[in-house]
Structure 1
Amino acid sequence: MTQNLPRKQTNDVDPDGKSGADIEIETDTGPPKKKSGGPSDPMRRCIATATNQPQSAMIRFVVSPDGMVIPDVAATLPGRGAWVTATSEALDLAVSKKAFSRAFKKSVQTDPTLTQQTHQLLFRRCLDLLGFAKRAGDLILGFDQVREEIRMDEPSCLIEALDGASDGRKKILSLAKAIFGDDEPSEQPIIVGCFTSEELGMALGRERVIHAIVKEGRSARNWIIEVERLGGFRPLRPSDWMSLAV
């Protein structure tokens, strides 16, 4: 009988006790709270790159009671938190530089799959938020319905299943390109194609979902923030999709 051996963990502290950083790395004192009249997207300092970024473009990490660094993608867990730019490169750098121990000012451990864990949590969070958008009436599903919405309104986000048929996807992307292609990039709808039809279907209570639009509004703003963070860990769509849309 094969035994499951415990995973090897990385002890995230410098052996000589030196930080190796030119600036002091700070943590927050608890999960962020919305303050009336305060900034909606405050700046945070990344413990890996020492750059200031909007909070919405970062991921918070906390330390569990047993000394493990865990991702807090919703920024709601109690205790001190350290912030890392929402990319796999920045997170890998934070681990390799032992930045978590410096930030928390104590020896902490990082699981070797921390980047993968964070990626999966962001992935799941994006799908969960799509479910919330559907229940709020902010999601449009179906080929004909999506095409009509593109013609009638300016969608915030267009979702195409990664494994959907290429002819249907090409028709929708070509329509979006014809209508919005001359707009400034910031004014064009975000096109996401990193979820399979089955993954979308499970999130939305259907067998499969191929085409969807998140309508302009709060649901779209929240989802775009999360999907852009996910984009730091995986491509949001195949690189050739728009070049094939004519």
Structure 2
Amino acid sequence: MPVARSINGGGGNLFATETSRASEITLADEVDLRPKIERCCLVTRECRDIGSLVRFVIAPDGTLVPDIEGKLPGRGFWVTAEGSVLDRAVKDGYLARALRRVNAEDVVVPAELSEFVALLLRRRCLSLFGLARRAGVVVVGFKKVQGILASGGGRLLVLAAEGAASEDKLRRIAGNSYGDVKVIDFFEARALAPIFGRVNWAYAGVQRCGFAERLLAETERLVGFTNSEVGMHQISARINKAAR
């Protein structure tokens, strides 16, 4: 994979392993919501739920590996899931000092680390969408999405990034259900087309379930590594944005 090779010279096997793990999530992994566990960010020193952090471990070959799922063995370092914070960890020496404290100063911290983390998080989100689709908790199309939102059974409204959903359409699709419905509006139509089985989809919905909550957690982490203003919104905020 080009990104992995640019970070680790020959593209170390643990990068490949972590990338493949991101696409091999099991049904049991995602419907079993894990208990809240807190860790402290290496940079900010703020203790947060691990769902809003990214863990890094040292591989036996001396590679610094982003542990997206937080399951790899070894001593881990936790950083807030924001590109700017991870960039500080690299540029201002936080990771280097942490590595020295565990006698791992020979580990090279790549400058492209935040871009690689973003890639892994994106792949994980797409994998989750695929699992949710196969589990039958995703609907595609205006009428179907409108139906699950109207019934109170919808948790996520997914909009194609290049779509121009008007205020009127958003209000019509949401009905009176938008109090706790979240909007995901930064995935391009082509990225989710193979998963949704439609090339020109504009609206999709995810029912209330473990998959929806897991998708929320992972997309919120991904948003921290994007430079876009779009991301996770309450649907009411998205409607207000469309009105401007």
**TM-score between both structures, scaled by the size of structure 1:** 0.74
2:133 match: secondary structure? helix
Alignment of 1:201 onto 2:196: no
Give structure 1 regions of 4+ aligned residues with deviation exceeding 6 angstroms.
Answer: none
2:61 match: secondary structure? coil
Alignment of 1:228 onto 2:220: yes
2:117 match: secondary structure? helix
| Structure 2 partner of 1:244 | 242
| Structure 1 partner of 2:116 | 117
Deviations 1:126-177 (A, max 9, x none): 111010101111111111111122212242111000112x25x544422356
| Structure 1 partner of 2:56 | 61
Contact 1:68 1:111 survives alignment (8 Å): no
Q: Aligned partner of 2:140: which letter?
A: L
Q: How big is the shift at 1:98?
A: 1.9
Q: How big is the shift at 1:69?
A: 1.7
Aligned-residue sequence identity (percent) comes to 30
Greater Cα offset, 82-91 or 146-155: 146-155
Q: Judging changes above 3 Å, is the alpha-carbon distance between structure 1 residues 175 and 59 closer, same or farther for their aligned structure 2 residues?
A: same
Contact 1:70 1:114 survives alignment (8 Å): no
Q: Judging changes above 3 Å, is the alpha-carbon distance between structure 1 residues 68 and 208 closer, same or farther for their aligned structure 2 residues?
A: farther
Q: How big is the shift at 1:80?
A: 1.7
| Aligned equivalents of 1:69, 1:236: Cα separation in 2 | 30
Greater Cα offset, 126-135 or 197-206: 197-206
Contact 1:174 1:245 survives alignment (8 Å): no
| Aligned equivalents of 2:130, 2:55: Cα separation in 1 | 23
Structure 2 unaligned segments of length 5 or more: list them. 9-28
Alignment of 1:43 onto 2:42: no
Deviations 1:79-111 (A, max 9, x none): 221111110111011112322233332212111
| Structure 2 partner of 1:82 | 77
Matches within 5 A, 1:83-162: 83-104=78-99, 105=102, 106-107=104-105, 108-162=107-161
More helix by share: 2
Larger radius of gyration: 1
Contact 2:90 2:111 survives alignment (8 Å): no
Q: How big is the shift at 1:72?
A: 1.2
1:48 match: secondary structure? coil
1:156 match: secondary structure? strand
Contact 1:45 1:52 survives alignment (8 Å): yes
| Structure 1 partner of 2:17 | none
| Structure 1 partner of 2:170 | 173
**TM-score between both structures, scaled by the size of structure 2:** 0.75
| Aligned equivalents of 2:74, 2:157: Cα separation in 1 | 37
Structure 1 unaligned segments of length 5 or more: list them. 1-5, 10-33
Contact 1:58 1:83 survives alignment (8 Å): yes
| Aligned equivalents of 1:131, 1:170: Cα separation in 2 | 29
RMSD: 2.7
Q: Judging changes above 3 Å, is the alpha-carbon distance between structure 1 residues 120 and 8 closer, same or farther for their aligned structure 2 residues?
A: closer
Contact 2:142 2:173 survives alignment (8 Å): no
| Aligned equivalents of 1:103, 1:206: Cα separation in 2 | 47
Greater Cα offset, 207-216 or 40-49: 207-216
Deviations 1:19-56 (A, max 9, x none): xxxxxxxxxxxxxxx9xxxx801110111111101011
| Structure 2 partner of 1:22 | none
Count of aligned positions: 206
